[in-house]
Amino acid sequence: MTSDPKTMTCEEFQAYLPELIGSGENAANHPHLKNCELCRALLADLETIAEAARQLLPVAEPPDELWSQIESAIQREKAEPDPA
Partner 1 sequence: MQPPDPDQKSAPNAVAPDPPPGAARPAHPVKFTSTATPNPAEADALARAQAGDHQAFAQLYSLHKRRIYSLCLRMVGNIAEAEDLTQDAFLQLHRKIATFRGDSAFSTWLHRLAINVVLMHLRRKGLSVISLDEAMEPAPDDGPGRSFGATDLTLAGSIDRLALEQAISDLPAGYRLIFVLHDIEGYEHNEIASMLDCSIGNSKSQLHKARLKLRDALHRFPRQEARA
- The 3-state DSSP class for residue 61 equals coil
* For partner 1, the closer CB: 22 or 83: 22
* For partner 1, the closer CB: 5 or 12: 12
Q: How far apart, in Å, are the Cα atoms of 45 and each of 7, 9, 48, 66, 77?
A: 23, 19, 5, 38, 49
- The 3-state DSSP class for residue 64 equals coil
User: Between residue 37 and residue 56, which ones bind partner 1 under the rule CB under 8 A?
Assistant: 38, 41-42, 44-46, 48-50, 52-56
Minimum distance from residue 12 beta carbon to partner 1 (Å): 8
Minimum distance from residue 4 beta carbon to partner 1 (Å): 17
